[in-house]
Structure formats: C-alpha cells, structure tokens
Chains A and B, each alone.
Chain A
C-alpha cells in the first residue's frame, strides 16, 4: 500500500494515512513545491475568492481540500498528527488561506446534521469550489449576545421569508451561499426560537455592502435581507432547533480557529524577519521560547482533534483551545512589531523583502480574539460550563 504512493508526486485522492509521518511530510512538501501557484506565495492580505481559486482548484483536483473530512465524503480523513504536518508545510511555504467557510463549517455541519439531499447537493459543490460559503450570524445588536438576533424567518406556504440584517460577514462579497440564523418564533425564549437556513446569495432581496477592515481590506460585509424567499427545505435540522445546531457547529469552528495554523505562519514570519534584519542570533532565545509554546499548543490541539476523529462532539472545553491559539498568535504578532522597528510602520510589504509585512501581520492578528466568540466570552463559557463557577 505505502509503496504505491510516490513521495515525489503523490497520486490524487490516494489514502495517505498509511504513510509514516516523515514520508507523509516529504510527500506534502514535494507536492506543494511542485504545485503551488508562485504568484500567490505569502500574500500580505487575505485573498478574495477569485484570487484564491487557482489554489482552491489545484487542491480540489488533488483531493486535498478537506483534510479533516471523512474519506467517504471526499475528504482526506487525516489523523491529527498528519493534519498538523500538512498545516506546518503549508504555512512554511506561505500558502494562502482559502475561502474556507464551506470546508471548515458547512461541510462538517451537513455531514453531522444535514439531510441526504443537502449532503448530496452541497458537499461536491464545496469540494469543487463551485459554491463559496459565508456565515450570517452576527447582527449590529447581536454580537457576543448572538441569541439577541432579530433577523426573522416567517413561513408562507412552502417558503420561508427572511427579513433583517447581518454584519461582519467574512467574504460576504465573494460567497454564492450564506448560512443564516434567523428567529422563527418571536414569542419563545431567546435561544429557543431560532432556526438555521441555507440561502443562495443571488436570491432576490439579498443585498451585500462591503466593509473596509482596519488594514484597509474589504474582507467582510453587511448583508441585508428584504423579503427573501427560500424553499421550505432550505432549513437545516428542525424548526426552532437552530441554536443547538449552531452550538454544535461552534465546536468545529473553535477547533478550526484553535488550530496552530495562524501561529505557525506568524512565527515563521518572525523568524524570517529576524533573519532579514541579521538578528537571528540576538533573538535566538525569544524565537526558541515561542517555538516551544507553539509545539505545546499543537499537543493541546491534538487532544481535541483526536476526539473529533473518534466521533465525539466537542464540549465547551474546546474554548480553551481557541483562547490559547489567539493569545499565542497575538503574542507572536506583538513580538514581530517589537523586532521590526521602522519596518513595522510600513503600510505594505518591506520593499527589498516582499514576503515580509510585519505591520499587516500585527493588524491581522487583532480580530482572532474577537471573532468566533471573543476571548472574554470563551472565558465566561469555560468558567461556567467547565469549571462550574457562576450562573
């Protein structure tokens, strides 16, 4: 079995789990070096879907888009240790982040809670890149207090009619579909009257307006729903059960957001920056300390990823993973600014070293402690639901 996988050019869709980890790493490294579009290496900003598509398609053809999905649904079914190797190799090569909401959220959600018809329609379209997804949870007055959301869905005949506004929708300008939490029972208690919908963005009544982020990038958007009509089967799970589904999805989201990916990329950036400044020796102790922290975080990540692989649903303790990852990522980003000196003041790339953009790395690390449940909210969850403190 192992003998059939060429480490120089691993076959598309081959099962790589039987490979020893070292061979797997070699295969991934070789393949990335041979396949990655050079013009997309280490982009200073998150790519829009159209820009990232060439890489998305290359991964799709190789069958490597969804390393964590089970093989039966077109994923790689990778073990956590191999998943980590893949993350390391991609971050070190400077592979761009994909428009990954479908891959990290919608796919796992439909695998767990979707109907056969939803799975059959959507999973292949995520894996081919035909449908890029975005997440419609937050509203202007429902951020941390997500259950205060006011977007409504009313049943009329065999349709749902959605009205309201979502905000901070990442890649909302790029997506073909959005998943939406909407209130279906205004009289029920806050969390009880919410349902989960899948909505094509080209439905009449959907309007999108982009928002510039602090790094002057139109990475997120406002999405308005004005009498948007969708079919009855656009719901995931039961009516008024959306909160439970959303909470299960948060487990996947927090596992993904707790992955060492961003910290790995940032530490690599810091190492290259020190090298560029001719100061790798001066900062050896700093770099070593951060490297050890990152490896510890990977161990932490593996304990959660192992549980998912065994088919367990993650509990509120996965919040700790997300808190630690964003704290580590931001700590590395802070050190990047400390080391960069005047290079950290530049709005773009360092002129004679275009894969370095310390200021942008610092800014892009800011929201990780805000989105997907802020670090304060995650701490509240752990305090109450894991430690049994408080209400």
Chain B
C-alpha cells in the first residue's frame, strides 16, 4: 500500500518562474520570482526599484511649485489626485486654503481621476484574466475623461492642474457641458461592464476566493483604499477626515466582506458609481469667484498685471526665481487617492525648497503583502491578484 501512495505523491523538483521585469502582466516594472511545486506557488520573492527615479531627492532640490510636475509622474493613471494631494499638503504648511470655487474644481478633478484610475485597474485586471471585451468597452470612457482633462489643463496625462493656493485654470462652459455628457453616458457603461463581468461565470470562478485577506492582516500590512474596504472596513479619508469640503457631498463608502479579488473589483465598481454621484452634486453647485488666492507671495499675479505694472512684474519674477517661502516646521497631510492613502510628509526649514519631502505611496505597503497573499494559489491566480492590487510602479518606487 505504501508503495502506491508513494507513487501518487510524486515528488517533483521545485520550479522557479521569473515574472518581469519586462513581462506583460506586470504592467510596469516589477520583478517577481515564483517558486512552484507543480502549479502551486510555494514561495514568492518580489523585487522592486526598477522605476526608482529619485523623486524625493529631486524634490529637495526644487522649489515647492516645481515639485508639482513630479507628482504627475508618480501615479500616472490618476495624476490629478496626486497634484491635489501635494498642493493640499503645501497649503496646510502655509496655513492657507484655496478659494471655494477652486475647491469644488479640485473635487471634480479628483473624482474624474478616480474614475480613470479604476477604469484602468478593472480593465487591465479583466484582460489578464482573459476578458478582453470589457477592456475595450470601458476604455472608451477613459478617452472621454482625457478629453475633459485636456480641456481643463492642456494635457491628457501629465496634468499639473493645481497650484499652491488654487488651480491653474478655470472651467469653461464647454468643459462643463462635456462633463455633463460624460455623467449621462457613464452610468449605463458601468451597467454594461457589470453585465459583462459581475455575473460572468468564468470571471467569478477566477476571482472568488482568490487572494483572500483578513482584516487583521490588512491592517497589519497598512492597507488603505479599495483593498482595505474590500476586506470589510469602512475606511475612507474623505468621510473620516474630510478635506476640500467632502463633508458637504452625499456619498457612500462601499465595503466588501472577504477581501478577495472579486470583492476588490466590486468595491471599485461601486466607487465609480459613488464618484459619479459626487460629480453630479459638484457640477451643479460650482460657486462663483476666483480660482486661486490673491496673495502675491504665493500665487502668480494675473498676466495683465505682469505686463502693465511694476509690482506685478516684480512679484512674478520673485516667485519664479525664488519660490514660495514657507514657515519652518513639519506636517503630514493625507488624502484619499484612487489607490488609498496618499500622504506627504514635508519638513521645511523656512527656505524656498523643502528640507525633506517624503511621499507615502499607497501601493508600497499593499505590494509588500503580495508574497504572503499568493502562497498556496496557482500561477494564474498570481496574475489576477497582481492586477487587483493596482500596483503603479511610478508610485511604488518613486
């Protein structure tokens, strides 16, 4: 009898499978080494840093305004959320607030960015699992968001929309019309997406119970954002520590129960619906007024003043050449970006350049749990898990 049993449990050698750094599923530059026993993952080792560009060091050598373009390139699927997060941090350091109109515009920008990010995440996750159709359907709406962004700030991807103390440009009527159209068209598209994926047997089987993560573990690992909510905790900084007047909007925070890939997908879909809801309230109630504060030490003066008055010219030159002077001190300011808590820890010594600028990326702690999550799953599941975590290498490595 024992002999037969031995034959059944054929011991094979462990196999090492390399994913990345250039691999279709990594969508960026990660390096994952999987140790396999048959098709089951026994251990995994992750290597990151292939997109480490030294953003924090560069920030120490740039003035406060000049760091804004760097924030675009961190989470490049929703750069506008990073812009908002960073300028909020600097505004907190300066002790100022942007005018009410700018705040609403920032909310609009943030929610559009969140939708764009979730579209990428869901679309790519579906492609990796094999549902290419959903990707094509939903990506059309991302293109619409890009059109809105390029009308708002002139760029599709690297937006640099906000400035310290406000936003760079006002919304014109045409853009508002575009946003209204988008809000009309998008909810049916979400339904369509759900029809394609949510009750899809193959998708369900590939994602349900995969990468299950308990709440305690998620908290231990410092999860934030959709992944934490999927594990069952109602935690959203927009609700808990409102900024930009988020307390005035009505929306709900979706949560999951099991914290697996399917739950993460559901949470993201529901969040897109809630974002649409916020957008609908915001677009109807845009207050009148300026979009940037009128402080010549912080915000650039209007162009007519620069050309026509000497004071305007001087303050323009001083701001460009020297930058904003901030009080000495340290602050930590966190916002809810599409992936989770995006925090900026700024140490200032009273100069025009930050002494130390630290970005708290949402995916860094999330990805550190990948090794533990994939253990015991199949190779194909690792791909699904990786997609659902929404790892953006630019933000992970900075």
Partners in one complex: no
